[in-house]
Amino acid sequence: MLEAMDPRPVGMFDSGVGGLSVFREFRRLAPRERTVYFADTAYFPYGPRDPGEVRKRAFAIAHRLVEADAKLIVVACNTASAAAVADLRQLFDLPFVGMVPAVKPATRASRSGRVAILATPGTFDGDLYASVVDEFGTGAAIDRVVGHDLAELVERGEVATPAARKAVRAALARPVANGADIVVLGCTHYEFLAPAITAEFPGVSVLGTGEPVARRARDLLQELDLEAPPDAEGALDLIVSGNREAFLEALPRLGFAPREQEAEAQS
Ligand code: DGL
């Protein structure tokens, strides 16, 4: 069989550390790929921003990742996907993988007929979310829960603290008391809070999108003959638009190796 070989990196971006929850799955599924990850911390958080502003950031970042020779870009952020992924696909001549909360698997898996979706205002207000709910949201009642301050906690690496437990309790106590048996993580930052949610609400199942999005990216690389060469060694290159030190400090608290190993090459 002829091995396809493309040594160029995969681009990935988010407002901050959240998209690393997609990256950790991608690294597991496609360990030979190099990833250039753009953390737009100078504009964090995206959630409450006007979609036009998030779209502008997405275009600027996509340009930067194309300059870095990206062969495919993963929009590892629900808010940016809602604001920009359709336009990015129109404007740029490379494949994009976007994300949307896991409404379909959640409504199918719920036994109580009630699911809670935890996301940012930008994600709830976007057409992408509306279209997924229209198509797949029948069969279960959906509680929309805006995650106030949750992304901020994760951005500081505070995922295993009493403050994190308190914040998830405050966000989810009402929908869980109302019968929700599934919590959908509709923001990549929230994936890091899954253990806190499970500890706080042992009876609910937590559904994220990191793994399926990473798998989609891996599959697309295969379909388009864009996979890394067989002898390639995977790597993570970080570009941080805001305070690089603060970003790197949060990484070990989110389960990533110490900074020396993670933050190698630079822009
Ligand atoms: N990680 C982003 C998402 O998936 C949101 C975090 C933010 O508000 O910047 O929606």
pLDDT of residue 240 exceeding 90: yes
Q: Is 135 exposed, middle or buried (0-12, 13-18, 19+ CB in 10 A)?
A: exposed
Determine the average pLDDT of the residues in 33-46.
98
Residues 141, 196, single domain; the answer is: yes
pLDDT of residue 148 exceeding 80: yes
Mean pLDDT over each residue of the chain, to the nearest integer? 94
- Is 4 domain-assigned? no
β partners of residue 185: 118
Torsion of CA 253, 254, 258, 264, to 10 degrees: -140
CA distance 192 to 185: 10
**pLDDT band for position 261 (cuts 50, 70, 90):** very low
pLDDT of residue 134 exceeding 50: yes
Mutate which of 14, 85, 185 for ligand 1 pocket (most atoms within 8 A of beta carbon):
14
pLDDT of residue 1 exceeding 70: no
Note the pLDDT of residue 138.
85
Residue 197's CATH number: 3.40.50.1860
Note the pLDDT of residue 137.
86
Q: Is 192 exposed, middle or buried (0-12, 13-18, 19+ CB in 10 A)?
A: buried
Q: Is 246 considered catalytic here?
A: no
How confident is the model over 83-95, as pLDDT tens digits? 999 999 999 999 9
Least confident of 63-67, 134-138, 168-172: 134-138
Q: Percent of the chain scored above 90 by pLDDT?
A: 92
Distance in Å, CA 145 to ligand 1 centroid? 14
Domain that holds residue 57: 10-99+211-261
Q: For residue 167, give both structure tokens.
A: 């914040």
- Is 2 domain-assigned? no
Beta-carbon contacts of 257 under 8 Å, excluding residues fewer than 6 positions away, are 251
Residues 198, 124, single domain; the answer is: yes
Residues 146, 193, single domain; the answer is: yes
**pLDDT band for position 4 (cuts 50, 70, 90):** low
51 lines ligand 1 (CB under 6 A): no
Determine the average pLDDT of the residues in 230-246.
95
Say what angle helices 51-67 and 78-91 make with each other, to 10 degrees: 60
Determine the average pLDDT of the residues in 205-230.
97
Note the pLDDT of residue 257.
81
120 lines ligand 1 (CB under 6 A): yes
pLDDT of residue 74 exceeding 90: yes
Determine the average pLDDT of the residues in 114-133.
94
> Count of domains in the chain?
2
Closest of 1, 46, 48 to residue 242, by C-alpha = 46
Note the pLDDT of residue 259.
56
Note the pLDDT of residue 258.
60
Q: Are 97 and 72 in contact (CB under 8 A)?
A: yes
Residues 85, 217, single domain; the answer is: yes
Ligand 1: atom nearest CA of 76 is 4
Residues 51, 83, single domain; the answer is: yes
Distance in Å, CA 18 to ligand 1 centroid? 7
Distance in Å, CA 147 to ligand 1 centroid? 10
187 lines ligand 1 (CB under 6 A): yes
How confident is the model over 177-208, as pLDDT tens digits? 999 999 999 999 999 999 999 999 999 999 99
